[in-house]
Structure 1
Amino acid sequence: MNDAELYAKSSSLQQQFVNKVLEELWPALDWRCEQGTVLDVGCGAGDVTRHELLPRLPPGISVLAVDISPAMVAKAADRYSGPRLYFRQLDIGTPHIEETDVWRLGPFPKVFSFFCLHWVQDQRIALQNISKLLSSGGETLVIIVIGSPLYKMFENLATSSRWSTYMTDYRQFDPPYLRAKDPVGELTKNLHEAGLYVKTCRSGENSYSSMDEQDLINTVNAINPFIGRIPQQLQKAFMQDCVTEAYRTGMIRAYSLPNGTVYSHSYSAVVAHAIKS
């Protein structure tokens, strides 16, 4: 099973939090423009773009959704392409944004990015690229994970004798703000240096819960970048070990309630809304 298929099976965590953030911050966005195209960076399999972003847009606004993974783009395009939603491949961390197809389609009045930028180690380049892709006065709204037991889970698996061969670079997948003393301050600084005026930048603890254990297991698998590296015949064993470590590290917690068992995953994230000056 490839990463795109896994991701397409589980986007509930992302959708739940994106819905909450958009409900809160949507009124702060300027929608005086009645036509054009906005950019969604890191669309994955397209669920959040299609179900949370697109329905909120004015009817004359379309979405160009991009992802670094060609397989993700193909999966999203197969599932959701339409007259107001289309997909392209883009690495937002490229040092050559001006040479991309997406650059030629811009600039954009809005750039959104939900649960994507924590995979990009060079935040300065990523945020500078977002700024470059924005039109003058354009706005960006981003959600970036800054902490989760997931990364301890990766460390435990990467230092085990069974899986270390496939995970030698596991530290490269740690969020850039994971060890920052002041992630909000650091992100604010990076946004300012990219030429963006910060209207909102805040962090908080969040949790996703479900009474379906498999739902949480699918979430663990969907955000695990190592599954695609594991030989096909070992993938089932690897995912089983991931679930074991998810419970051990607190990535998944189980709580018994009178009406059944609730499974939850806690994580911390930063939300930022900024305007290109």
Structure 2
Amino acid sequence: MNSDSSGGGYTKARSMQHRDALLLLGQHLAWRDGDAVLDVGCGTGEIARHIADRKEVATVVGLDISKDMVNFATSKNTAEKASYHVLDIQDESGIREDWRGKFTKAVSFHTVHWIPNKERFLANVHMCLEKGGELLFNLFAGVPAIKVARDIKHHPKWREYLTDYALQLYEWPKGDVAGMSHLLEECGFEVVTCEVHTLTFKLDSLEKEKAFSRPLLGHLQYIPEEKQDDFLEDAISMARELYQKDEEGRVAWEMPQIVVHARKL
């Protein structure tokens, strides 16, 4: 789901997502002795390791659909209380019996917009939580830059490379808090909070804008390596047209998202 399957480059590109995840954890979750935590879409494992470092937490299980990500997390973000496993959370058959009803908390940061079947995600996380267990996640909901990720496939310079590319990113409809709340309730959750948050990033160099953009541009696996910088610059130029600029001329990259804190009934 990202252009750097080795993990290392993705870790660098995820620095702002990492900061966002830590902020949401601090705002919404209170840790209790013996907490067992499920991290869905754990990626390279930084958040899982951060959670495992808390003295109250007994265990953390990180899941990711990418074998490369899980291998990286296992080798670089190992922790005594953390383990990492390859799993598509939409696949109920992959959920181990000893995970079912085990977890007191589940988190998923910047992952759910990559999952097409939101109902199956919620149902399977619900299955893994104990009664009263908490779920915290976020997902994109109307990010302007995603329009660029879709439109650049038809750019005259790049369309020949992107004939077989399909953007596999499934945002939630912009601002649809009511729809998300209804889906959570249908899947057996009590909604604690369901809100729109807008993250705003101001990046002071093209190189930082490139690093920021990479996780959204799976197109890069289809672009020859020697042309990837040129491709990124074109994508960033297109995105800049959709955003406001501050008094110093920096683009204010706005990323609207839905943030959910729910509890299993």
- State if a TM-score over 0.5 links the two structures: yes
Measured in 2, the distance between the counterparts of 1:206 and 1:220 equals 14
Instruction: Give the 3-state SS of the residue equivalent to 1:242 in structure 2.
Output: helix
1:189 lines up with 2:186 in the alignment: no
Quote the offset at 1:105 in angstroms.
Answer: 3.4
Offset from partner CA, 1:144-175 (integer Å, 9 cap, x none): 11121221111221112333352655454241
Question: 2: distance between equivalents of 1:223 and 1:48?
Answer: 20
Residues 1:20 and 2:23 are matched in the alignment:
yes
Deviation at 1:269, TM superposition (A): 0.8
Matched letter for residue 23 of structure 2: K
2:215 pairs with one of 219, 222, 238: 222
> Which blocks of at least 5 consecutive residues in structure 1 are unaligned?
none
Equivalent AA in structure 2 for residue 200 of structure 1: T
Q: What secondary structure sits across from 2:141 in the alignment?
A: strand
Tell me how far apart the structure 2 counterparts of residues 208 and 8 of structure 1 sit (CA, whole Å): 18
Query: Which of 59, 62, 69 is the equivalent residue of 1:62?
Result: 59
Q: How far apart are 1:123 and its partner, in Å?
A: 1.0
Structure 2 residue 83 is the aligned partner of structure 1 residue 89:
no
Number of the residue aligned with 1:248? 241
Answer yes or no: is 1:44 the counterpart of 2:28: no
Whole-Å separation in 1 of the counterparts to 2:75 and 2:187: 34
Query: CA, structure 1 residues 198+68, in 2 after alignment: closer, same or farther (shift >3 Å)?
Result: same
Q: 1:268 to 1:275 in 2, by over 3 A?
A: same
Taking structure 2 as the reference length, what is the TM-score of the superposition? 0.86
Deviations along 1:187-222, whole A, 9 cap, x unmatched? 111111111111111112221234344223201013
CA contact (8 A) 1:62 1:85 kept: yes
Structure 1 partner of 2:114? 119
Question: Is 1:132 the equivalent of 2:135?
Answer: no
Contact 2:35-2:56 at 8 Å conserved across structures: no
Contact 2:167/2:218 (CA < 8 Å) preserved in 1? no
- Matched residue, 2:193: 200
Q: Could you list the runs of 5+ residues in structure 2 that have no partner in the other structure?
A: none
Q: State the shift of 1:254 in Å.
A: 5.4
Whole-Å Cα distance in 1 between the matches of residues 69 and 139 of structure 2?
Answer: 19
CA contact (8 A) 1:142 1:272 kept: yes
Contact 2:146–2:216 (CA under 8 A) maintained in structure 1: no
Query: Which has the higher mean CA deviation after the structures are superposed, 241-250 or 188-197?
Result: 241-250
Aligned positions of 1:166-185 closer than 5 A: 166=162, 170=166, 172-175=168-171, 177-178=172-173, 183-185=176-178
Q: With structure 1 as the length reference, what TM-score do the two structures score?
A: 0.82
Identity value in percent: 24
Tell me how far apart the structure 1 counterparts of residues 39 and 207 of structure 2 sit (CA, whole Å). 28
Q: What amino acid sits opposite 1:50 in the alignment?
A: R
- Deviation (angstroms), 1:70: 1.1
1:6-54 Cα distance to aligned partner (Å, 9 max, x none): 3112222212222322222124xxx44x225311011122233334x34
Alignment: residue pair count: 260
1:204 and 1:269 in contact (8 A); partners too = yes
Partner of 1:35: 34
For 1:226 and 1:103, the matched residues in 2 are separated by: 37
1:211 to 204, 209, 231: 204
- Residue 262 of structure 1 and its aligned partner are, at CA, apart by 4.8
In the TM superposition, what is the alpha-carbon distance from 1:233 to its structure 2 partner?
A: 4.5
* Cα distance between partner residues in 2 of 1:211 and 1:102: 45
2:254 aligned with 1:266, yes or no?
yes
